[in-house]
Amino acid sequence: MVVVGVIAAVAASRLVPHTILQLQAGRDLLTTALFSAQQKAMAQLAPVRVIASGNTIDVRMDTNRDGNFSADESITVAGTRYPLQVEGGILFGATSLDYDGLGHTTPVVIPVSKSGQSVNVTVTATGYAY
């Protein structure tokens, strides 16, 4: 039974292309950053911006409320220090989203791509990302 399990695991890893797994990981990292930004904006009642571009995801909180999300306002959430450089050739469509104190933002679809393949992350006006 153990041998059959090992053979099945090896066969499954050969059937699922490596690019698909990397795209899913990139999508998950972006979705996590969006969720974290929304939660931070609601908890701190301060504007939070998510910037995705190239292979970088950044989350910034406007702590001095000047409307300028400078690079030194990048935050750490749940042990993740932003900006986050994503490895493996994953690229994000250039996007900048601002979350208000209610967690609302502008609806958008953000492409996550690698080697001609892509998946999309959809963000609704209520801030929900999937």
> What's the average pLDDT block by block, 10 residues per block, for the chain (130 residues)?
63 65 96 96 93 98 90 91 95 96 96 96 97
Neighbours of 59 (CB within 10 A): 29
d(CA 70, CA 123): 23
**Contact call for residues 59 and 74 (beta carbons, < 8 A):** yes
Q: Exposed, middle or buried by CB within 10 Å (0-12, 13-18, 19+), for 69?
A: buried
User: Which CATH fold would you assign to the domain 18-123?
Assistant: minor pseudopilin epsh fold (3.55.40)
d(CA 95, CA 1): 49
The strand order across the sheet containing 117-123 reads 84-85, 56-61, 48-54, 91-99, 108-114, 117-123
Where are the chain's structural domains? Answer: 18-123
pLDDT for res 13: 55
pLDDT for res 17: 61
**Contact call for residues 39 and 50 (beta carbons, < 8 A):** no
d(CA 41, CA 105): 11
pLDDT for res 121: 98
pLDDT for res 67: 87
